[in-house]
Amino acid sequence: MNNQRNGRRSNLCIRWLLSALVLLGVVGFVSTLAWTQVTSGSLTGLVTDPSGAVVPGAKVVLTDTNKGYDYPTTADSVGRYVITNLPPSAYSLSAEAPGFKTYRRGGIVLDVGTSSSVDVRLEVGATAQAVDVTAAAPLLSTQDAVTGQEVDRTLINDLPLVGRAVFDLAFLAPGVIQAPGATFGPQNNGNNFVSNGGRNATAEVLIDGVAATTYEPNTGINTVLYTPSVDAVQEFKIMQNNYTAEEGFTGNTYVNMVLRSGTNQYHGSVYDFLRNDKLDANNFFTNQAGGKIPPLRRNQYGLTFGGPIKKDKTFFFVDWDATREHAGSTHNAGVPSALEKQGDFGEVCGYNGGKFDANGECFQVNPDGSWARDEKGNLILGTQLWDPYSGQYVAGTGRVLQTFIPFNNLATFQSAGNSNLDRTPYQLAAAPGNLIDPVALKMIQYYPAPNVNVGTPLYDPYNNWSGSGINLGTNDQFDVRIDQRFTDRTAFNARFSYAQGTYHGMNCFGNALDPCTQGPGVGGSRSIALSLNHTFSPSTLLNVSVGFTRGLSDTKGIAKDYPNFDPVKDLGLPSYITSSGTIASPVVYIGGGYAQASGEALGAQAWSVYKNGNQVYHLL
């Protein structure tokens, strides 16, 4: 009675799942072998006797050696068997027919999305006798023309990885190279590679048959929303060109990844990977400036565990991965001297081989100290500052400045301004230093003092500061996967993934106008994947995948580190600068050869207050 009740419950569960998914409008029937879920594979072959004649009606059984699943089928009228909806795993194959010995072959490994062929040659004899095939040619994927690289669990487990970023293994595939300016490790977007000359950051990524990429708001970059732990990945395949229709939605490369699942044996692991500055060499520029090795403390630790809930039927797998990182970073910049911070730029004249005459105008000099002259005998102008209000129009030339600033000293120079602005609030005040903007004068004080080769012949005013600090980062993520086989024809699996982390970049200048840090930030991912596979016949299949993946990045901005900073009160900016509710200073870019600490010279980084949530929904 209990067995009958359990059987009815199992049938009700199957019917409920089938009905619910059919209502979603995802029932797919095709009369061809090729249409399968993209993570599943297939196996086909011809059953023959010793003379090469086909053996119709032979009973063929493929067994998943890890989970104990059986996939029975019967050879058709031309002796061909077909088994579909096969998850990547290791299998054994047996075949029998009246008047022939039982055929057995193990060690059949099917990779993700692979369609392979194994022919069976039966020998005459009693069925009770068996022929075990212990050595055979490697399996070839002869059922399609997909090119690419399979990265299995052995490679994933054994190969070294900087930062343990699993997508770095995509570079094992022929034709896959780094994008210009890209790097390795978790900071590199998982699909930011060039494949066979195609554009970078356009490859599609599937995890357990569900899309894990979507386009950023600028639509030019297809970004990976969730990156699983190295120890959670069973295998993945980089498919380049000629892949079948069910992949699609990408230019020329497809990454098809499958996470690990439980087996009939309990298995688990505990790990901790350590990186430390005690094992590192110093950065060249830090060493040149007399600095110490930037500190580095990086621990990545976690565990995995999986096994049967009910043997041969229900399995689970869980993993947890955590990262705690204090990573040193070195930045270089060209910063103003103490005199320049007060408006005296006299030293600029000498940077390019010049000196001032008695009137304070800068001209170039020869190596012997004499004035440099052109072929007409005129002095050659050096690096000289000019009053921007003194321009006059010269026909054929344009606007030409007439009044130089003596000794390049803005602090002591008084500009006459523009007479057209007299009696308006826009005319300059009649006082020395009236060309110096009061906001700029306050902002320039936030620069640190030069600290590289100061007072030596090697001093370079365009790159005269170096600093080291720490970038902080944390991450915690886990995956939970359940696999259930209801019958020989129906299988179901579900996965939930979660990641949450924090990050905080180094503050180079140690103040609210630092150009290096974006302030504190948080990020994370959520991913759900549900998959149902049902085989009606070798040529009629139902495959349904439903999923959702979301990635979040929330950068708070440097103002979160300086809650008392007010750009209106501290810098003298107009009050409307805070009307948006975002507190930040302007960002300053300086060209002319000056090194900038982090792409910007001074002020809050552009895009440093940014909240972005991207998600992709999958229904196939």
Structural domains in the chain, CATH included, are 31-144 (2.60.40.10), 145-259 (2.170.130.10), 263-343+436-620 (no CATH), 347-435 (no CATH)
| CA–CA distance, 258 with 263 (Å, rounded to integer) | 15
What is the model's pLDDT at position 134? 65
The three-point CA angle 570-574-579 to 5° equals: 100
Q: When comparing pLDDT for 541 and 495, which is higher?
A: 495
Give the CB-side neighbour count of residue 5, counting CA atoms within 13 A.
2
pLDDT at 115 over 90: no
- Residue 419: both structure tokens together: 């007479």
> What is the per-residue pLDDT for 237?
87
Residue 33's pLDDT is 33
Residue 605 has pLDDT above 50, yes or no: yes
pLDDT at 327: 87
pLDDT tens readout for residues 555-588: 999 999 999 999 999 999 999 999 888 888 999 9
Q: Which H, E and C letters describe 491-518, residue by residue?
A: EEEEEEEEEEEEEECCCCCCCCCCCCCC
Average pLDDT over residues 592-603: 91
Instruction: Output the pLDDT for position 474.
Output: 95
pLDDT band at residue 538, thresholds of 50, 70 and 90? confident
- Which helix (DSSP H) or strand (DSSP E) does residue 16 occupy? helix 2-23
Is 60 exceeded by the pLDDT of residue 12? no
Q: Say which amino acid occupies 615.
A: Q
Residue 243 confidence class, pLDDT cut points 50, 70, 90: low
**What is the pLDDT confidence band of residue 32, given thresholds at 50, 70 and 90?**
very low
Q: Summarize pLDDT for 271-312 with one digit per residue, the tens.
A: 999 988 888 888 787 777 777 777 888 999 999 999 999 999
What pLDDT, in 10s, does the model give residues 58-97? 999 999 999 999 999 999 999 999 998 888 899 999 999 9
- Give the whole-angstrom CA distance, residue 304 versus residue 3: 34
More confident residue, 396 or 355: 355
Strands 102-110 and 130-133: parallel
Q: For 129-148, how does the pLDDT look when each residue is reduced to its tens digit (9 = 90+)?
A: 777 776 565 665 655 556 67
Token pair for 552: 């979040």
pLDDT at 464: 94
Shortest CA distance to 307 belongs to which of 47, 67, 79, 533? 67
Better-predicted residue by pLDDT, 9 or 496: 496
Q: Is residue 293 within 8 Å of 275, Cβ to Cβ?
A: no
Q: How sure is the predictor about 23, in pLDDT bands with cuts at 50, 70 and 90?
A: very low
pLDDT value, residue 144: 58
| C-alpha span between 348 and 57 (Å, rounded) | 93
Specify the pLDDT at position 503: 94
Largest distance between two CA atoms of the chain: 116
Looking at the DSSP bridge assignments, the partners of residue 324 are 299, 474
The pLDDT assigned to 500 comes to 96
Give the position of tokens 């990524």: 205
Q: What percent of the chain has pLDDT over 90?
A: 55
pTM of the model: 0.79
Q: What residues have CB less than 8 Å from 93, skipping those under 6 apart?
A: 43, 60, 61, 62, 63, 103, 104, 105, 106, 108, 118, 120
pLDDT at 25 over 60: no
pLDDT category at 36 given cuts 50, 70, 90 is very low
Average pLDDT over residues 179-195: 78
Instruction: Output the pLDDT for position 180.
Output: 82
Residue 605 to residue 506: CA distance in whole angstroms: 12
Task: Give the rounded distance of the alpha carbon of 116 from its chain centre.
Answer: 32
Instruction: State mean pLDDT over 173-192.
Output: 79
pLDDT at residue 554 greater than cutoff 90: yes
Position 4 scores a pLDDT of 46
